[in-house]
């Protein structure tokens, strides 16, 4: 049987001889080659032999990848791989089925001559004509006056900070701007009992991992503090209390107008990275009679927390993450919430996420078995989205069975469940539309036992002065109505801040073209416009959860560094 080492020898040969069809023939008929910057300056998956042959024809010989090696044992059908290209060292992972590749993942790891200054490459720290504090002072002063960053990062949450850290290490001048008074305020300003929904092993920021005493689920204020100290430890240049007002493509990049502490300033970065979160603007439904309501009503994003709401009757319209979180918060504060679930919701218990889905790669057990976060991330990325979908459906079939008592209790309380249209569960929901789910950290039990009242499968008819009226005529009295009705898409920021023309050219962000709800086709196979070049030169999108911020910040950082150094030939 052909093992990984033998397969790599054939691949190296086929590439060297510039035989695209031979390359393709090393794959299964439906094989997949996912490449992140190693063979081409973008993130893409080439699916099936014809596409692989075309990719090999275009980039195979040109890349001159050599020195293919593997850590896989003799006879193994999958394992880590490494190789070298003219740009720098690459790494990846290959999975064989009967000697043919089901999937090949290749990724650029470093840029030759511009390696990450880590471990043996770390700086000495000794003064070199200039002390550390003088250098930092000079850098800050330069940005404050006429100095211009090469990269302007809009938003200093985890995504922006992770990218900033990569750019700092690679020596790419950057400026992060954020509207909040302090780094971390995005987290601090949320409701009190919030913690990260994913466990600590999955949530490390790049380069500065959480220490061993860190809680499994980071409380939101602690997360805010960590991001703030991360910015200090990584020497990031951040302007807080600063908002982007507009950005327009200019000759050599952008003209960006920012409002800093109330003062307008013009910046001329070569690149603008939108790192404003995965959502656009709050979406408010228009119900008849809303203007007649005598209590308070606001969007979930404006909810300050349940303090002071004891005894109040609150109608929460919506049944995804925000709605659940807010209802639980209301119960904890002695208020009486009614959740209005208009369509079905996907539920995954936090314990299932931690102990079933993430455990093999991101857990204390994985760490103690020697699996580093870097390798876990590589294994994760090595699975093309096409295969992720299949794996998710299989996993969820098992989870639904194992968790049947939990789900049937919820259904008995009237809750409308779904597991994504194709049964792919959370992965399908999260990657396709970023909505339609709740990671259960306790609200489900409150629904099951009635502490959170529920009306499901029903629309709101109208708002009346003292509450709401449902489609079946039921009248729900309310002192407060909270619209947990979600957010628009990320690209709304482009339309507002950059212009409708650019927004139209870019198209949608997020999703991969599955064709399922919230994620129209055609199939793309990678996340739309995320972490890779867009149709607008110099406009980029960071975003995603902490794990994505960690992994993709490095890839986007490499792309920006390559442009600064003129390595992309474009």
Q: What is each CA distance from 422 to 357, 418, 426, in whole angstroms?
A: 18, 10, 11
Neighbours of 305 (CB within 10 A): 17
348, 358 contact by CB (below 8 A) = no
Does position 134 interact with a copy of itself (CB under 8 A)? The reply is yes
The residue from 100, 222, 375, 496 that contacts a copy of itself (CB under 8 A) is: 222
3-state secondary structure of 512: coil
Per the rule left: phi > 0, alpha: psi between -120 and 50, beta: everything else, 513 is left
Binding-site string for a copy of itself from residue 307 to residue 346, where x marks contact by CB under 8 A and - marks none:
----------------------------------------
Question: 136 or 475, CB closer to a copy of itself?
Answer: 136
Cα angle value 531/537/540 (rounded, 5°): 25
281, 456 contact by CB (below 8 A) = no
> For residue 376, what is the enclosing H or E element?
helix 373-381
CB of 305 to a copy of itself, least distance (A): 10
Look up residue 443 and give its DSSP letter: H
DSSP string, 241-304: SEEEEEEEEETTEEEEEEEETTEEEEE--SEEEE-S-SEEEEP----TTGGG--SEEEEGGG--
Question: 102 or 546, CB closer to a copy of itself?
Answer: 546
Q: What is each CA distance from 49 to 26, 84, 480, in whole angstroms?
A: 9, 24, 58
Binding-site string for a copy of itself from residue 197 to residue 216, where x marks contact by CB under 8 A and - marks none:
---x------xxx-xxxxxx
Does position 438 interact with a copy of itself (CB under 8 A)? The reply is no
Question: 99 or 442, CB closer to a copy of itself?
Answer: 442
CB of 320 to a copy of itself, least distance (A): 21
535, 501 contact by CB (below 8 A) = no
Does position 359 interact with a copy of itself (CB under 8 A)? The reply is no
CB of 62 to a copy of itself, least distance (A): 33
- With 0-12 / 13-18 / 19 or more C-beta atoms within 10 angstroms meaning exposed / middle / buried, residue 375 is middle
200, 216 contact by CB (below 8 A) = yes
Does position 183 interact with a copy of itself (CB under 8 A)? The reply is no
283, 320 contact by CB (below 8 A) = no
Largest CA distance in the chain: 78
The label of the residue with tokens 């790419």 reads 172
CB of 215 to a copy of itself, least distance (A): 3
The residue from 12, 115, 221, 421 that contacts a copy of itself (CB under 8 A) is: 221
108, 38 contact by CB (below 8 A) = yes
Question: 134 or 449, CB closer to a copy of itself?
Answer: 134
For a copy of itself, the binding residues in 144-163 under the rule CB under 8 A are none
Question: 18 or 131, CB closer to a copy of itself?
Answer: 131
CB of 132 to a copy of itself, least distance (A): 3
The residue from 73, 229, 284, 302 that contacts a copy of itself (CB under 8 A) is: 229
Binding-site string for a copy of itself from residue 362 to residue 391, where x marks contact by CB under 8 A and - marks none:
--x--xx-----------------------
Does position 181 interact with a copy of itself (CB under 8 A)? The reply is no
The one segment of 218-226, 288-296, 316-324, 544-552 that binds a copy of itself by CB under 8 A: 218-226
Read off the tokens for 308: 């002071």
CB of 318 to a copy of itself, least distance (A): 23
Question: 76 or 216, CB closer to a copy of itself?
Answer: 216
For a copy of itself, the binding residues in 235-264 under the rule CB under 8 A are none
Radius of gyration of the chain from its Cα atoms, rounded to whole angstroms: 25
167, 215 contact by CB (below 8 A) = no
The residue from 27, 55, 226, 512 that contacts a copy of itself (CB under 8 A) is: 226
Question: 200 or 383, CB closer to a copy of itself?
Answer: 200
Read off the tokens for 543: 């975003």
Instruction: Quote the strand ranges of 304-452, DSSP E.
Output: 313-317, 336-341, 346-349, 437-440
For a copy of itself, the binding residues in 88-127 under the rule CB under 8 A are 116-120, 122-127
Question: 115 or 479, CB closer to a copy of itself?
Answer: 115
Contact residues for a copy of itself (CB under 8 A)? 116-120, 122-127, 131-134, 136, 169, 192-193, 195-196, 200, 207-209, 211-222, 225-226, 228-229, 232-234, 364, 367-368, 441
């Amino acid at each position: 049987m052909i093992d990984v080492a033998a397969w790599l020898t054939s691949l190296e040969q086929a590439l060297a001889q510039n035989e695209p069809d031979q390359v393709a023939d090393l794959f299964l008929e439906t094989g997949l080659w996912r490449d992140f910057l190693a063979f081409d300056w973008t993130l893409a998956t080439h699916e099936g032999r014809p596409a692989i042959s075309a990719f090999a024809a275009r980039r195979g010989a040109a890349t001159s990848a050599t020195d293919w090696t593997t850590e896989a044992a003799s006879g193994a059908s999958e394992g880590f791989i490494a190789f070298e290209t003219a740009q720098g060292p690459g790494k990846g992972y290959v999975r064989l089925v009967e000697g043919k590749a089901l999937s090949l993942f290749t990724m650029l790891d470093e840029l030759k001559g511009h390696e990450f200054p880590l471990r043996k490459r770390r700086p000495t720290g000794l003064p070199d004509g200039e002390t550390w504090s003088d250098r930092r002072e000079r850098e800050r002063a330069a940005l404050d006056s006429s100095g211009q960053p090469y990269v302007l990062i809009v938003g200093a949450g985890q995504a922006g900070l992770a990218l900033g850290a990569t750019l700092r290490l690679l020596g790419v001048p950057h400026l992060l701007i954020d509207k909040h008074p302090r780094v971390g305020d995005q987290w601090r300003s949320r409701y009190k009992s919030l913690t990260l929904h994913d466990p600590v092993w999955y949530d490390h920021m790049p380069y500065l991992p959480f220490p061993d005493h860190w809680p499994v689920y980071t409380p939101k204020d602690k997360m805010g503090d960590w991001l703030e100290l991360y910015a200090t430890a990584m020497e990031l240049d951040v302007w807080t209390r600063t908002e982007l007002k507009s950005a327009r493509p200019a000759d050599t990049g952008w003209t960006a107008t920012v409002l800093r502490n109330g003062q307008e300033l013009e910046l001329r970065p070569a690149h603008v990275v939108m790192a404003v979160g995965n959502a656009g603007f709050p979406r408010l439904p228009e119900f008849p009679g809303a203007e007649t309501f005598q209590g308070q009503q606001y969007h979930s994003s404006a909810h300050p927390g349940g303090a002071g709401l004891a005894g109040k009757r609150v109608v929460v319209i919506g049944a995804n993450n925000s709605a659940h979180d807010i209802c639980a918060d209301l119960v904890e504060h002695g208020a009486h919430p009614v959740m209005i679930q208009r369509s079905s919701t996907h539920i995954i218990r936090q314990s299932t996420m931690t102990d079933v889905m993430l455990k093999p790669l991101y857990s204390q057990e994985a760490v103690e078995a020697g699996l580093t976060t870097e390798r876990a991330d590589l294994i994760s990325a090595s699975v093309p989205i096409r295969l992720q979908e299949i794996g998710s459906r299989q996993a969820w079939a098992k989870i639904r069975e194992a968790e049947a008592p939990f789900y049937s209790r919820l259904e008995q309380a009237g809750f409308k469940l779904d597991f994504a249209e194709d049964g792919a569960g959370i992965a399908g929901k999260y990657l396709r539309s970023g909505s339609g789910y709740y990671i259960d950290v306790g609200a489900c039990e409150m629904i099951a036992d009635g502490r959170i009242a529920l009306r499901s499968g029903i629309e709101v008819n109208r708002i009346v002065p003292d509450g709401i009226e449902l489609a079946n005529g039921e009248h729900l009295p309310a002192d407060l109505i909270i619209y947990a009705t979600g957010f628009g898409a990320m690209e709304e920021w482009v339309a507002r801040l950059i212009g409708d023309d650019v927004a139209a050219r870019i198209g949608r962000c997020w999703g991969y073209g599955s064709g399922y709800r919230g994620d129209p086709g055609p199939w793309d196979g990678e996340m739309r416009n995320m972490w890779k070049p867009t149709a607008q030169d110099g406009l980029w999108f960071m975003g995603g959860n902490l794990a994505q911020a960690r992994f993709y910040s490095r890839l986007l950082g490499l792309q920006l560094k390559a442009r600064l150094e003129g390595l992309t030939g474009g």
